[in-house]
Amino acid sequence: MRVLITGGAGFLGRRVLSALLAQGKLMDSDNNEREISRICVADVAGPPQALPDDPRLETVYGDFSEPGAARRLLRDDTGVVFHLAAIVSGQAEQEFDLGMRINLDGTRGLLDACRELSQPPRFVFSSSVAVYGGDMPPVIQDTTPPVPQTSYGAQKAGSELLVSDYSRKGFVDGRSLRLPTIIVRPGKPNAAASSFASSVLREPLQGEDVVCPVAAETGVWALSPRRVVDCFVRAARLPASAWGKNRTLMLPGLTVTVAEMLEALRAVGGDAVAARVRFEPDPFIEQIVYGWPTRFDPRRALDMGFAADNSMTEIIEAFVEDDLGGLIAS
Amino acid sequence: MRVLITGGAGFLGRRVLSALLAQGKLMDSDNNEREISRICVADVAGPPQALPDDPRLETVYGDFSEPGAARRLLRDDTGVVFHLAAIVSGQAEQEFDLGMRINLDGTRGLLDACRELSQPPRFVFSSSVAVYGGDMPPVIQDTTPPVPQTSYGAQKAGSELLVSDYSRKGFVDGRSLRLPTIIVRPGKPNAAASSFASSVLREPLQGEDVVCPVAAETGVWALSPRRVVDCFVRAARLPASAWGKNRTLMLPGLTVTVAEMLEALRAVGGDAVAARVRFEPDPFIEQIVYGWPTRFDPRRALDMGFAADNSMTEIIEAFVEDDLGGLIAS
């Protein structure tokens, strides 16, 4: 069985790739465990770091939303698709048409291409809690309706509807995961409005000063890269029956404020590290981030066996271990 | 100011047209009341009955989802768009690609065309309670999330997201109305799964026998053509501020079972009329209709001044008056 990961050169895609290479097996849409013979990593460009040297790996770089491109990413033995490719929130807000093309039309093009396969593949879609917005309850429930207040959120919510309906029609066996803010992302800041949530930890741990564009009391609904990869793999392994009539799932996470993040940073890295964060409000970021919910009751995901991190300290320690080789620039 | 009605040759479109011609004025997107100088009725084909003879009326027949067609329906003085054109539920389920093209791409094409106008028009979109489905609460609330179980419902929910985001971006001043089942529709049965809800009243009142494809205890969330036209006009008149961050509204209605509909039919038309209904289950219709919710708490719409009919009898009497010239074939 072949597996496709769109956005596979991104930091989450690379981790999903590593997890799948290590496990070597995954469920097909009949829920039979099958040997993974090939994994195709598709992305707009190659990764900043080399991908693992593995004979099962193939790579395709280019815009998957171009006509015919999605179909070329698939082969008849493609049994599972992880669709992670996206234009991030800040950029989708500033470049509306680009966001629509990649985040909405791109998902639809990929679903349409899957529909042409003789066997409907399992389709794991990376959605976001950015679908929530507007007048929200104090705690987001599984039954809280998405009322997106960003184009990114609207495009993700629209894609979820497509994944669900294409699943109901039997074109794919889909499942959409609403991701919390993933911290700590390695690498550089990006155009996501949530970029600060990684930066305020990542840069100080590597000896760099950083500006936090939101207030210390700003809450974030957070999940670590380790845990979200577990969630992706679990989502791919669960049978269609586990999803019932609702193919969309809000993932678990931890509610942490920036202040609590910095407290954990101090606990892990010491005072000098924590002192590298300076506050300087950015109204564009604030306007997006303050509309995001921070408290959730992810009962359905917990019942389905998905799990969050145990603490903010654990999240930072995992980052130091996985991405900094255990070294903190103290 | 010019007004566009897509699906304007349909029975609801014609009634919206008549109401607007009679009122002669409507709000523009700055909420200034403006004289209606022109009304453009766009539809795939001409209406079964002649449209009113009015110098303000223009007609465009053809597929509005063809490239460039939506733009040609608009002029720079188009201040309000009523977007009613759609492929109905049963047909959208059986012809998936056609439903996607008209119901989702068509809406998006029209929104994109509106975006090119120098002044964003008000955009009133005809959505449907068919967006609801899956595991629903006993009574649908304004906060119940749409989990569509039909392609029609998914396409309507997806269009709502577009109307909302295009409004937030200032491309249009949109509002989506989730319509109950509209009864009594005049004319012939159509491919809507809800077609029976009009047929079981309309045909007997005109002396024809009719087959009801669902059980007598089947509930319907119903609204009359008179009331829904009031709702469309009200939706167009309310300022953007009345909608806040949520551009989607569940309309009020009446919960009635088929048995109650036939009871009212008997009260209005007598025993001979009511005896013209025969029950013969149709599994395809049942499978769609039984998934639809029938009990709603439309608090927000009531607070905003939208109103339902007072009784099933009133609905039937309005049909006899408006569409049968007061004559019942007893």
Q: Give the residue numbers of A annotated as catalytic, written as ranges.
A: 152
Distance from CA of A114 to the nearest CA of B (A): 15
Distance from CA of B162 to the nearest CA of A (A): 7
Which pLDDT score is estimated for A90? Answer: 87
Residues with Cβ within 8 Å of residue B192, at least 6 apart in sequence: B88, B89, B90, B91
Q: Shortest CB distance from A144 goes to which of B134, B145, B169?
A: B145
A window 240-279, beta carbon within 8 A of B: 244-246, 248
Averaged pLDDT for residues B99-128: 98
Q: What is the mean pLDDT of chain B?
A: 96
Q: Mind listing the pLDDT tens digit for each residue in A194-236? A: 899 999 999 999 999 999 999 999 999 999 999 999 999 999 9
Domain edges within chain B: 2-179+223-250
Among chain B residues, the shortest Cα distance to A163 is held by B154
Cross-chain residue pair B154–A134, CB shorter than 8 Å? no
Is the pLDDT at B214 greater than 90, yes or no? yes
Cross-chain residue pair B148–A161, CB shorter than 8 Å? yes
Is the pLDDT at A191 greater than 90, yes or no? no
Which CATH architecture group holds A2-180+223-250? 3-Layer(aba) Sandwich (3.40)
Start-to-end CA distance of chain B, whole Å, equals 46
Q: Give the residue numbers of B annotated as catalytic, written as ranges.
A: 152
Which pLDDT score is estimated for B17? Answer: 98
What is d(CA A213, CA A8) in angstroms, rounded to the nearest whole number? 29
Is the pLDDT at A49 greater than 90, yes or no? no
Which pLDDT score is estimated for A46? Answer: 85
Distance from CA of B89 to the nearest CA of A (A): 14
Structure tokens at B165: 């985001």
Tell me which long-range contacts A103-107 makes (C-beta under 8 A, separation of at least 24). Answer: A103/A152, A103/A155, A103/A156, A103/A159, A104/A155, A104/A158, A104/A159, A105/A65, A106/A64, A106/A65, A106/A70, A107/A83, A107/A159, A107/A162, A107/A163
Is the pLDDT at A56 greater than 90, yes or no? yes
Collapsing DSSP states into helix, strand and coil, what is residue A318?
Answer: helix
Of residues B115 and B288, more confidence is placed in B115
Is the pLDDT at B210 greater than 90, yes or no? yes
Cross-chain residue pair B165–A151, CB shorter than 8 Å? yes
Q: What is the mean pLDDT of chain A?
A: 96
Mutation for B interface: A161, A162, A176, A248, most B CBs within 10 A = A161
Among chain A residues, the shortest Cα distance to B143 is held by A145
Q: Which residues of B touch A165 (CB under 8 A)?
A: 148, 151, 154
Confidence of residue A30 (pLDDT cuts 50, 70, 90): confident
Q: Which residues of B touch A158 (CB under 8 A)?
A: 158, 161-162
What is d(CA B98, CA B104) in angstroms, rounded to the nearest whole number? 10
Q: Mind listing the pLDDT tens digit for each residue in A65-77? A: 999 999 999 999 9
ipTM of the complex: 0.94
Cross-chain residue pair B148–A134, CB shorter than 8 Å? no
In chain B, the percentage of residues whose pLDDT exceeds 70 is: 100
What is d(CA B136, CA B255) in angstroms, rounded to the nearest whole number? 16
Q: Is A138 on the interface with B (CB under 8 A)?
A: no
In chain B, the percentage of residues whose pLDDT exceeds 90 is: 91
Distance from CA of A92 to the nearest CA of B (A): 12
Cross-chain residue pair A145–B149, CB shorter than 8 Å? no
Among chain A residues, the shortest Cα distance to B146 is held by A145
Q: Which residues of B touch A169 (CB under 8 A)?
A: 96, 151
Q: Which residues of A touch B164 (CB under 8 A)?
A: 147-148, 154
Confidence of residue A47 (pLDDT cuts 50, 70, 90): confident
Residues paired with residue B178 on neighbouring β-strands, in sequence order: B127, B250
What is d(CA B274, CA A69) in angstroms, rounded to the nearest whole number? 59
What is d(CA A68, CA A73) in angstroms, rounded to the nearest whole number? 9
Averaged pLDDT for residues B270-287: 95
Is there a contact between B98 and B149 (Cβ–Cβ < 8 Å)?
no
Mutation for B interface: A147, A160, A303, most B CBs within 10 A = A147
Cross-chain residue pair B164–A154, CB shorter than 8 Å? yes
Which pLDDT score is estimated for B30? Answer: 87
- CB hemisphere CA count around A315 (13 angstroms): 32
Among chain A residues, the shortest Cα distance to B97 is held by A112
Q: Which residues of A touch B162 (CB under 8 A)?
A: 154, 158
Mutation for A interface: B135, B142, B147, B300, most A CBs within 10 A = B147
Rounded to the nearest 5 percent, the helix, strand and coil shares of chain A are 40, 20, 40
Q: Which residues of A touch B151 (CB under 8 A)?
A: 165, 168-169
Q: Is A141 on the interface with B (CB under 8 A)?
A: no
B2-179+223-250: CATH topology is Rossmann fold (3.40.50)
Q: What amino acid occupies position A183?
A: I
What is d(CA B92, CA A105) in angstroms, rounded to the nearest whole number? 20
Averaged pLDDT for residues B302-320: 98
Confidence of residue A111 (pLDDT cuts 50, 70, 90): very high
Locate all alpha helices (DSSP H) within chain A, ordered by sequence.
11-23, 69-73, 89-94, 96-99, 106-115, 151-168, 195-205, 225-237, 258-269, 271-274, 283-289, 299-303, 312-323
